[in-house]
Amino acid sequence: MEFNTEIAPYARLQLQDTMVVFDTQPASIPFNDTVKPFCDKNPVEHSMYQMFITEQDFSPESYFIAISSMLTVDDIVENGRKVSSTTLLSPMRKVFSAYTGTGSVYVAVATYGKLSTAYVPTFSYACSPVLYPESCDVLTDTFPKFICAGCFFLGLLSVCLGHYHLPIDQSLPIFFTSTILGYMITQNIGWALLIGLFGMILWHCFRVCFPILGLGLFNISLGFFFTNVVYFHAPGINNDLEGVA
């Protein structure tokens, strides 16, 4: 990644459909007679922090308060959430989910030994509230609202009456999991629902012909849930997320 400025103490933010890409330029230490350049590894460590503001809050006051609370290293550590590192991307790039209409401050901190300095923070609503206010609306169409309401009532019926109709109750997690996977692939709620329906029918076929495989598919949703719980909350697994304000 290249910046227009040779030494850029700021970040470059790219807004995509469902993601926010945060790029920073590596920091370096001053070289002299006692400190020589490191060719194999940069001795400066970089940490990324993020802070949310209230959803659908586009007031100038909230904007400037959020920026001012993430200017110094102490304020960043106190108010921000440290973002975990990954081996899949460059350490100078972080990819976030875009929460439309929710303001978020992104900032990097460079640390060398006991010295730390902060980059210039950047801000995004994952939309354009000034030029295109409608881009910040969430669930504006009738169909997505209907889907959300349907999910709520299906879940309520599953809790109250699911034990009376066990096969139907077991098919709901398969349907929702298949729908989520379908939406991740197609980015279209209609096709995602069709994929969810196909996944539910396929599970019923496996349930009749291959009971063990059908049981395994049924437990996928529960497995995803416990995997997330272990990853984010088990001690020692994700230490980079500690220190959340």
d(CA 234, CA 215) in angstroms, rounded, equals: 27
Q: Which two tokens stand for residue 61?
A: 């006051």
* Domain coordinates in residue numbering, the chain: 11-134, 142-233
Q: What is the pLDDT of residues 144-193, one digit of tens each?
A: 778 778 878 888 887 887 777 777 777 777 888 788 788 878 877 788 88
Mean pLDDT of 58-69: 94
The 3-class SS string of the chain reads CCCCCCCCCEEEEEECCCEEEEEECCCCCCCCCCCCCCCCCCCCEEEEEEEEEEECCCCHHHHHHHHHCCCCHHHHHHHCEECCCCCCCCCCEEEEECCCCEEEEEEEEEEECCEEEECECEEECCCECCCEHHHHCCCCCHHHHHHHHHHHHHHHHHHHHHHHCHHHHHHHHHHHHHHHHHHHHHCCHHHHHHHHHHHHHHHHHHHHHCHHHHHHHHCHHHHHHHHHHHHHHCCCCCHHHCCCC
pLDDT band at residue 232 using 50, 70 and 90 as cut-offs: low
Q: How many CB atoms within 10 Å of residue 174?
A: 23
- In 10 A of CB 54, how many CB atoms? 11
User: Cβ distance 123 to 63 under 8 Å?
Assistant: yes
Query: For 11-134, which CATH class?
Result: mainly beta
pLDDT tens track for 193-215: 898 889 888 887 877 787 776 67
pLDDT band at residue 105 under the 50/70/90 scheme: very high
The model carries a pTM of 0.65
Q: Which of 228, 197, 227, 201 is nearest to 214 (CA)?
A: 201
Q: How far is CA 27 from CA 11, 97, 105, 110, 240, in A?
A: 12, 26, 20, 7, 20
Residue 210, sorted as left (phi over 0), alpha (psi -120 to 50) or beta, turns out to be beta
- Among candidate residues 95, 80, 86, the one with its CA nearest the CA of residue 1: 95
